[in-house]
Amino acid sequence: MKLDPWGAVFVDDYSKLFDEFGISSFDKILPGIDKPHPYMRRKIIFGHRNYDSVLRAMQEHRPFAVMSGFMPSGRAHFGHMMVMNEIIWHQQQGGDAFAAIANMEAHAVRGISWSKCRELGINEYILSLIALGFEPNGHIYFQSDNFKMRNLAFELAAAANFSEVSAIYGFSGETSIAHMESVMAQSADILHPQLEEYGGPKPVVIPVGADQDPHIKLTRDLAYRMRRFLVERREEYVSIRGKSAGVDLMIAAEKALRSAGYHEVKRYEEHIDVLDIKNQEGLRSGSLLEEIDRLIIKVETDQGGYGFIPPASIYHRFMTGLAGGKMSSSKPESHIALTEDPKVAGKKIMKAITGGKQNLSEQKKLGGEPEKCSVYEFLVFHLSDDDSELSELYEQCRNGSKMCGTCKKDVAERIQIFLAEHQKAREAAKERLPEFGIKV
């Protein structure tokens, strides 16, 4: 078996997500990405829903957006930084970027005071976002301040009911109403980049950890529910179902299709079939479906509808905790915070659990296991730009020519340099908060 330095071993644990939950493997679309982010190249981003639609928009220079959120409940660490970097990368590719500070969620679910949320939101998340390169043409907001989003949340709540939402989140009779509202706020966070005020319907990607997939699924469902038409692929043609369209809207849809050059258009009472599909390849890849959907969305929005496109998502693997187990904000020994004293960070690396053997001679004989090593993981995720350097270390570790002591020392040094630079950039970001509409 050929092991690649960031391959099969990591991804295996996640493969059941593909079959069980309908997440698609990122591998298949990776070749179509011009200059993929290192997270993509290194299989840290391992899965997606509907990311093809975002890629197509990127390649065809149509509007798209990226959106994710952070709950201000503790310190921001390297795990959160991944989401930040993913937002920023998409912004650099031309996407409109949105970052929510989920203070409604933190207040409702964790009982954190509004002022604490504000402080954590700015100090832990917003400053790091700016320091990492988030540009002011994007949108950073506190949920409670964003009334476009909050109004949409109310609208979405009118389309969701208690049983389905509690089946996803395990609500009970004791769950507070505010907790339920915060779930709707998250869906509205995700969909509001498609409101008219932000340029209307467009593909939006949500970079998150795989644990957030239930939110994505619910939101995709709500997006469908707000639509007046459903555009679907049949074997050889495209069918457009008018869910609550009414005759006028059905006629307008037919007209839009004909003036876009589709002629074999058959309109029935509740659906329209588009039969003259010349572009079979487009039908297969989904691009034709999207093209027709764009026409239909225009018909919807012209009549005051939302015309939402179901949000896309990309999923990254979690980092292992430095002390084994999960990396978590609530366990200081498991993570390194972005505001961590660099010296303390270096010490955490020196104490971290590695894939090394009990003693030196055994390690020389048998080699280490980089795929189980949290120190190696830090390099792959964050501290090395150089793929060949990583391949080399991977080999040296496995064949027993690299020892954990020297390896950890090197990584500890790198993390200190990284943090010192990041923290300097955070200081500079403090001056720039007004550019982002953040009042202190």
Binding site for ligand SF4 (CB under 6 A): 354-356, 368, 370, 373, 375-376, 397, 402, 404, 407-408
Smallest distance, ligand SF4 to C-beta of residue 292, A? 51
Which of ligand TRP, ligand SF4, none has residue 105 at its interface (CB below 5 to 8 Å by kind)?
Answer: ligand TRP
Expressed in angstroms, the distance from the first to the final Cα of the chain is 56
347 Cβ neighbours under 8 A, 6+ residues apart? 412
The reply on whether position 204 binds ligand TRP by CB under 6 A is no
Which of ligand TRP, ligand SF4, none has residue 6 at its interface (CB below 5 to 8 Å by kind)?
Answer: none
| Cβ pair 108, 178 in contact under 8 A | yes
Q: Give the one residue of 52, 86, 96, 105 binding ligand TRP; rule: CB under 6 A.
A: 105
Which of ligand TRP, ligand SF4, none has residue 370 at its interface (CB below 5 to 8 Å by kind)?
Answer: ligand SF4
Smallest distance, ligand TRP to C-beta of residue 145, A? 14
Comparing CB distances to ligand TRP, the nearer of 176 and 399 is 176
Comparing CB distances to ligand SF4, the nearer of 69 and 356 is 356
Comparing CB distances to ligand TRP, the nearer of 10 and 169 is 169
Stretch that binds ligand TRP, among 100-108, 264-272, 284-292, 418-426 (CB under 6 A): 100-108
- Give the helix/strand (H/E) hosting 348: helix 342-351
How many residues make up the chain in this entry? 440
Smallest distance, ligand SF4 to C-beta of residue 407, A? 3
Phi, psi angles (nearest 5°) of residue 399: -90, 10
The reply on whether position 231 binds ligand TRP by CB under 6 A is no
- In this structure, the strands spanning 45-49 and 204-209 are unpaired
Classified as helix, coil or strand, 281 is: helix
Q: What Å distances lie between residue 79 and 190, 208, 321, CA to CA?
A: 20, 10, 10
The reply on whether position 128 binds ligand TRP by CB under 6 A is no
Which residue in the shown chain puts its C-beta closest to ligand TRP?
A: 69
Site for ligand TRP in 70-89 (CB under 6 A): 70-71
Smallest distance, ligand TRP to C-beta of residue 159, A? 18
How many chain residues bind ligand TRP (CB under 6 A)? Answer: 14
Comparing CB distances to ligand SF4, the nearer of 189 and 371 is 371
Which of ligand TRP, ligand SF4, none has residue 206 at its interface (CB below 5 to 8 Å by kind)?
Answer: ligand TRP
Which of ligand SF4, ligand TRP, none has residue 355 at its interface (CB below 5 to 8 Å by kind)?
Answer: ligand SF4
Smallest distance, ligand TRP to C-beta of residue 203, A? 15
The reply on whether position 146 binds ligand TRP by CB under 6 A is no
Q: How far apart are CA 405 and CA 320, in angstroms?
A: 20
Write out the DSSP string of 123-163.
IIIIHHHHHHT--TTSEEEEGGG-HHHHHHHHHHHTT--HH
Smallest distance, ligand SF4 to C-beta of residue 346, A? 14
Edge-first strand listing for the sheet containing 139-142: 24-25, 45-49, 312-316, 204-209, 65-70, 96-101, 139-142
Q: What Å distances lie between residue 120 and 106, 197, 333, 434, CA to CA?
A: 11, 28, 20, 17
Which of ligand TRP, ligand SF4, none has residue 310 at its interface (CB below 5 to 8 Å by kind)?
Answer: none
Q: Give the one residue of 86, 124, 189, 340 binding ligand TRP; rule: CB under 6 A.
A: 189
Which of ligand SF4, ligand TRP, none has residue 39 at its interface (CB below 5 to 8 Å by kind)?
Answer: none
Q: If we measure between CA atoms, which residue out of 180, 245, 244, 173 comes closest to residue 218?
A: 180
Comparing CB distances to ligand SF4, the nearer of 258 and 409 is 409
Smallest distance, ligand SF4 to C-beta of residue 378, A? 10
Which of ligand SF4, ligand TRP, none has residue 407 at its interface (CB below 5 to 8 Å by kind)?
Answer: ligand SF4
Comparing CB distances to ligand SF4, the nearer of 274 and 397 is 397
Q: How far is CA 238 from the centre of its chain?
A: 30
Q: Give the one residue of 82, 102, 292, 322 binding ligand TRP; rule: CB under 6 A.
A: 102
9 Cβ neighbours under 8 A, 6+ residues apart? 3, 371
Strand partners, 69: 100
Long-range contacts: 279-285, Cβ < 8 Å, 24+?
A: 283/233, 283/236, 283/238, 285/52
CB neighbourhood size of 49 (10 A): 22
Phi, psi angles (nearest 5°) of residue 240: -120, 115
Q: How far apart are CA 347 and CA 66, in angstroms?
A: 36
Comparing CB distances to ligand TRP, the nearer of 194 and 416 is 194
Query: Given the rule CB under 6 A, which residues bind ligand TRP?
Result: 67-71, 100, 102, 105, 186, 189-190, 206, 208, 212
